[in-house]
């Protein structure tokens, strides 16, 4: 049994046998690199992996992603939260849940913890309301494991500076925004230690990958 349901919505959940793994962290924390390494490892373990992301894991989501990341004018914080929630609702319903029902591993770059950290702490909306909104959008689906790549925001920014020619709307936010995001992530992880694996993302990518694989092997038997 995987892709756990929260108690508030468990009654509506379909049976799911796959494994739902999400990667979280600030911009520049190295999520994409770790997702690629983990996908390779899981595939080597004989698992079918659906690698996806939010925002933008569906055709409609690609359009929402364009608005939420690249719209030139203002977007109010609540509208931003709803755009991420709309992307999530459609993605969970059409991609994530079907994959879990097939027994696949869903390896996802960002999920509802991003909304709590960025819209809740970053935009200073009520974190509890944002979590409820996300859970409603996702029909209560929580990941089996969330890997938090924790990195000091100034180090992350320096990494981004070497790889970006332009910043999206969220990346362009100031250092204090990103500091709030980081500390919100750490709070989320300490509130749910069973679900979260916090890794120090300042280390070399292969070291991080080895730690994630070892932990995954301990927490969730990857071969079936």
Chosen residue from 3, 21, 35, 53 binding ligand TYD by CB under 6 A: 53
CB-wise, 47 or 107, nearer to ligand TYD? Answer: 107
CB-wise, 69 or 89, nearer to ligand TYD? Answer: 69
Of 30, 35, 55, 32, whose CA–CA distance to 170 is shortest? 55
Neighbours of 126 (CB within 10 A): 11
Chosen residue from 54, 104, 150, 153 binding ligand TYD by CB under 6 A: 54
Is residue 41 a contact point for ligand TYD (CB under 6 A)?
no
Residue 138 CB, nearest distance to ligand TYD (Å)? Answer: 11
Query: Which tokens in the block code for residue 121?
Result: 């702490």
Query: Which tokens in the block code for residue 6?
Result: 């929260």
Alpha helices in 57-204 (DSSP H): 59-70, 77-91, 97-102, 112-114, 127-137, 153-163, 175-191
Is residue 129 a contact point for ligand TYD (CB under 6 A)?
no
Residue 164 CB, nearest distance to ligand TYD (Å)? Answer: 8
Query: Which tokens in the block code for residue 58?
Result: 């569906």
> Which residues here bind ligand TYD, judged by CB under 6 A?
27, 53-55, 69, 84, 109-110, 114-115, 118-119, 168, 170-171
């Amino acid at each position: 049994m995987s892709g756990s349901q929260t108690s508030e919505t468990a009654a509506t959940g379909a049976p799911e046998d796959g494994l739902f793994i999400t990667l979280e962290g600030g911009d520049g924390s190295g999520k994409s690199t770790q997702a690629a390494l983990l996908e390779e490892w899981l595939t080597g373990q004989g698992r079918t992996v659906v690698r996806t992301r939010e925002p933008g894991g569906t055709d409609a989501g690609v359009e929402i992603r364009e608005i939420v990341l690249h719209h030139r004018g203002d977007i109010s914080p609540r509208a931003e939260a709803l755009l991420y929630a709309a992307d999530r609702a459609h993605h969970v319903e059409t991609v994530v849940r079907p994959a879990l029902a097939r027994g696949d591993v869903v390896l996802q770059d960002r999920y509802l913890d991003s909304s709590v950290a960025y819209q809740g702490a970053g935009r200073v909306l009520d974190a509890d309301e944002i979590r409820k909104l996300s859970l409603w959008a996702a029909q209560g689906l929580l990941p089996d494991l969330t890997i938090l790549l924790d990195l000091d925001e100034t180090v992350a920014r320096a990494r981004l500076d070497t790889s970006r020619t332009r910043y999206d709307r969220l990346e362009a936010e100031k250092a204090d925004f990103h500091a709030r995001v980081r500390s919100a992530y750490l709070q989320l992880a300490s509130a749910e230690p069973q679900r979260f694996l916090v890794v120090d993302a300042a280390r070399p990518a292969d070291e991080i990958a080895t730690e994630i694989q070892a932990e995954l092997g301990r927490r969730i038997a990857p071969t079936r």
